[in-house]
Amino acid sequence: MTAQHPSDTQDVLKSRKDAFRIPEGVIYLDGNSLGMLPRHVPARLAEVVTQEWGTSLIRAWNTHDWIDLPTRTGDRIARLIGAPAGTVVACDSTSVNVFKVLSAALALRPQRKVILSDTGNFPTDLYVASGLKELLAKGHELKVVAPEDVRAAITEDVAVLMLTQVDYRTGRLHDMADLTRVAHAAGALAIWDLAHSAGALPVDLAGTKADFAVGCGYKYLNGGPGAPAFLYVAPEHLDKVTSPLTGWMGHEAPFAFDLDYRPVSGVGRMTVGTPAVLSLSGLHAALDVFEDVDMADIRRKSISLSELFIAEVEARCPQLELVSPRDPQARGSQVSFRFEEGYTVMQALIARGVIGDFRAPDVMRFGFAPLYLSHGEIVDAAAILADILATGSWDRPEFRTRANVT
Ligand SMILES: *Cc1c(COP(=O)(O)O)cnc(C)c1O
């Protein structure tokens, strides 16, 4: 039985918890890695499989509008990230979308050669940038500086500033409006990876004038394992950008079967091949849980949950060192603590039903998805963590075995 906490009585989002299928005995602090399953999604997916696929067959591309699922899903995500309708499309993985938007951005700044990023970026973004640079073979340089040095490193030779807004390891939040402004003043373009932002905090893509953005469908958006990602192109670039992956789904008239490529107008030109209808349907349906939700309420609750977690853990677990910014305004919706035996302690914690995750070399990471967490659960999670540390019950061989996925 979860403890009661006074903040839960004033929680305007508390009824949203019922929208999720929450396993008995689990306190889920990993919605930043894989969001929980909304209750209505299995039935919706069954319907897509048996009715739409099973009965309508090929006709469903038209009768169930499968063909527009990427842009229909993109429009639902757009509302959560401050983007106008018609600027977001759900497709491919975040890694592939980084490739596409980075290539498109570099093509808009042909005279410049520097891609600027930081050491807090998620490695796949840097790997993709490095691979693209080799492929282009035009002498681009990938410059990676410490997060606090980014602002000063935005010089007139930078073509593209490419950052992840919320650091996946520490939760440190970049000031998107400020850095985008500085980038534009220097003549550069800005790409933002919203993997740990979308669905977790208010994002204002239009207001901050970001040029491009990408993000994940399976984290705070609860789209399910391997759900399609999304990408955003600012309205002023929409009809200027070129995708490096010119597939038929980005063509103006895919069913004309012309031998020449002509990009469709709008964000659809950033799509490549046949949409993943099953997983897109899951993501599209999962986004129902955000209907009528104000992102400001999500942010308020996220801060309240994370502040409570830090206070509880610091009061009970002196062994752990906070690695996330202490100022909640400088943090996303996650909190991380450093402990040398963090991996082992995390496995012991998971065995007790408190699911967080671990990031090498020594970071225990806890994510707070405000739609399905209560303050009472936060207090319980901290108490269980404290018990594991105080009793040394984590120190067992079975918790030391490293799994493939941490
Ligand atoms: C989770 C995450 C990704 C994941 O990319 P995939 O292509 O979906 O594997 C990319 N970038 C960031 C910043 C992430 O946090």
Write down the mean pLDDT value for the chain.
97
Q: In this structure, which residue's CA is closest to atom 1 in ligand 1?
A: 195
Point out the catalytic residue in the list 133, 172, 219, 299. 219
Pocket of ligand 1 (CB under 6 A): 93-95, 122, 124-125, 164, 168, 193, 195-196, 216, 229
Per-residue model confidence (pLDDT) at position 406: 83
- In tens, the pLDDT along 326-338 reads 999 999 999 999 9
How far is ligand 1, taken at its centre, from the CA of residue 91, in Å? 13
If you classify domain 6-30+294-400 with CATH, what class do you get?
alpha beta
Whether the per-residue pLDDT at 104 is higher than 90: the answer is yes
- In tens, the pLDDT along 144-161 reads 999 999 999 999 999 999
342 CB burial (10 A radius; 0-12, 13-18, 19+): buried
Tokens (6 digits) for 388: 């594991």
Establish whether 365 is a catalytic residue: yes
Whether the per-residue pLDDT at 125 is higher than 80: the answer is yes
The radius of gyration of the chain from alpha carbons, rounded to an integer in Å, stands at 22
Establish whether 239 is a catalytic residue: no
191 CB burial (10 A radius; 0-12, 13-18, 19+): buried
For the domain spanning 45-290, the CATH number is: 3.40.640.10
The residue whose CB lies within 8 Å of the most ligand 1 atoms, and thus the one to mutate among 95, 126, 167, is 95
Rounded average pLDDT over 254-268: 97
190 CB burial (10 A radius; 0-12, 13-18, 19+): buried
Rounded average pLDDT over 73-81: 98
Establish whether 8 is a catalytic residue: no
Per-residue model confidence (pLDDT) at position 4: 82
Q: Which amino acid is at 262?
A: R
Rounded average pLDDT over 323-352: 97
Among the listed residues 237, 198, 211, 193, the one whose alpha carbon sits nearest the alpha carbon of residue 96: 193
Point out the catalytic residue in the list 30, 75, 125, 193. 193
Each domain of the chain, given as residue ranges in start order, spans 6-30+294-400, 45-290
Per-residue model confidence (pLDDT) at position 1: 62
Establish whether 372 is a catalytic residue: no
Give residue 115's pLDDT band: very low, low, confident or very high (50, 70, 90).
very high
Taking the C-alpha atoms of residue 93 and residue 230, their distance in angstroms, rounded to an integer, is: 8
- In tens, the pLDDT along 272-317 reads 999 999 999 999 999 999 999 999 999 999 999 999 999 999 999 9
Point out the catalytic residue in the list 20, 122, 212, 290. 122
Handedness of CA 322, 303, 147, 110 (dihedral sign): positive
8 A C-beta contact, residue 192 and residue 125: no
Rounded average pLDDT over 169-181: 98
Among the listed residues 379, 340, 369, the one whose alpha carbon sits nearest the alpha carbon of residue 37: 369
How far is ligand 1, taken at its centre, from the CA of residue 367, in Å? 15
Q: CA 100 → CA 243, 266, 293, distances in Å?
A: 6, 15, 31
Q: Which pTM value belongs to this model?
A: 0.97
Rounded average pLDDT over 367-379: 98
8 A C-beta contact, residue 171 and residue 334: yes
Per-residue model confidence (pLDDT) at position 144: 98
User: Can you tell me whether residue 385 is helix, strand or coil?
Assistant: helix
Per-residue model confidence (pLDDT) at position 258: 97
Among the listed residues 357, 348, 353, 366, the one whose alpha carbon sits nearest the alpha carbon of residue 1: 353
